[in-house]
Amino acid sequence: METTTIKSIPLQATHEALGAKMVPFAGYLMPLKYSSVTEEHKAVRNGVGIFDVSHMGEFFLSGPKALDLIQKVTSNDASKLKIGDAQYSCLPNDQGGIVDDLIVYRTGQEEYLLVVNASNIKKDWNWIKSHNTDQVWMEDVSENAALFAVQGPLATQVLQKITDFDLSTISYYKAAICTIGGVHQVIVSATGYTGSGGFELYVPNQDAVQLWDAVMEAGQAENIQPIGLGARDTLRLEMGYCLYGNDIDDTTSPLEAGLGWITKFTHPFINSEALAAQKKEGITKKLVGFKMIERGIPRHDYALCDEAGAVIGKVTSGGQSPMLEKGIGLGYVQKAFAKVGTEIWVQIRKKRVKGVVVKLPFYKNI
């Protein structure tokens, strides 16, 4: 039997001093919340917040065949990436499902950084390695790299105070390497998973505390708040972004998950023929966003029904939207029920509660 040890992130003591409730997540002890999920959520929507997401995994792939390997294992088209570009993508498996979703950065002429979910680090590494037939250099730096997301409409204003680099020149899904908060060689990326704008900062562990403290100090006037994983989840859900393990997994097709936009048949990749066929034939179920009309909060695994009570799908993510103050959810439904405006019912314990399929995102911040 494999024993599991809880790995620590560099800022554990910092989070505890800030009053965080720490919980084990994907093998790491992570901050779940500091104050309340709703307050943290609103801080990001209206101001600025900082997340420690150092549990995320990072792999560097380099060499003349690195791009070929990435093109083989990812569904988006990485050949389009210029140095400094980032791209949301997924690793399809050979059974029609998804190994993981990830961000691919081109960090050099022949060098790429892959950022993957913490819970999938080992699985992704083994998967990519098993397809590495051309001796592409692969390095897993997950244990040595910290990652902070500084998100919200005031994120740029805060970070600009501690760097000479003009952050307004980094457009969405682009990255630059700069000195920030006195720390050199930080990868500053205009990404995040909140829909409120801002940056993600990749930094070696030994500089992590210095950078966190510098950002917190710079953000004092803007009342920067530390944000836990709880609000990270409600923020991404309000945007309709998929969470691996909830909305997408080894059995869900990227096309059914609404990830057709990152499934590019411009190049062959693992299972691309089957996915292309699926696209041609049409999918039978689809991931949709819905909000509640009647009072109720959808939760993961609740059944979705039609008016008569026949099951038409399943909730994959759900919760109370702090901005809409309504229950919202994502779930797979039969295609006939996927159209925006369709009324669907959520089976909440003994009751069927009415909701409606809506266009995503649920909430627009920027």
| Tokens 């790429």, located at residue | 112
Phi (first) and psi of residue 116, to 5 degrees: -125, 165
Q: Using CB under 8 A as the criterion, which residues of the chain lie in contact with other proteins when the complex forms?
A: 33, 36-38, 230, 233-234, 295, 297, 299, 319-320, 322, 349
Judged by beta carbon, residue 263 or residue 316, the one nearer other proteins is 316
Round to whole Å and give the CA distance between 60 and 34: 32
Nearer to other proteins (CB atom), residue 226 or residue 230:
230
Least distance to other proteins, CB of residue 247, Å: 16
Q: Which two tokens stand for residue 197?
A: 């704008």
Q: Give the residue with the Cβ less far from other proteins, 247 or 306.
A: 247
Return d(Cα 138, Cα 115) in angstroms, integer.
13
> What's the angle, vertex CA 13, arms to CA 8 and CA 19, rounded to 5?
115
Nearer residue to other proteins within complex by CB, 280 or 349: 349
Smallest gap from Cβ 234 to other proteins, in A, equals 7
Q: How far is the CB of 293 from other proteins (least distance, A)?
A: 15
Residue with tokens 């999918």: 283
Q: Which residue's CB is nearer to other proteins, number 138 or number 297?
A: 297
Tokens of 79: 């050949």
Q: How far apart are CA 344 and CA 315, in angstroms?
A: 11
For the bound state, the minimum distance from the C-beta of residue 348 to other proteins, rounded and expressed in Å, comes to 9
Task: Please tell me the distance from the alpha carbon of residue 15 to that of residue 52, in angstroms, as a whole number.
Answer: 9
- Quick one: the chain helix, strand, coil %, rounded to 5? 25, 35, 40
Question: Contact, 249 vs 99, CB < 8 A?
Answer: no
Closer to other proteins by CB, 36 or 79: give it.
Answer: 36
Closest approach of other proteins to the CB of residue 255, in Å = 30
**Smallest distance, other proteins to C-beta of residue 325, A:** 8
Give me the DSSP letters along 245-307.
Answer: TTTB-TT--TTTTT-GGG--TTS--TTHHHHHHHHHH--SEEEEEEEESSS----TT-EEE-T
Would you say 246 or 342 has its CB closer to other proteins? Answer: 246
Sign of the Cα torsion 306, 309, 311, 316 reads: positive
Nearer to other proteins, 38 or 246 (CB): 38
Q: How far is the CB of 350 from other proteins (least distance, A)?
A: 10
325: left (phi over 0), alpha (psi -120 to 50) or beta: left
- What are the phi and psi torsion angles at 310 (to 5°)? -70, 135
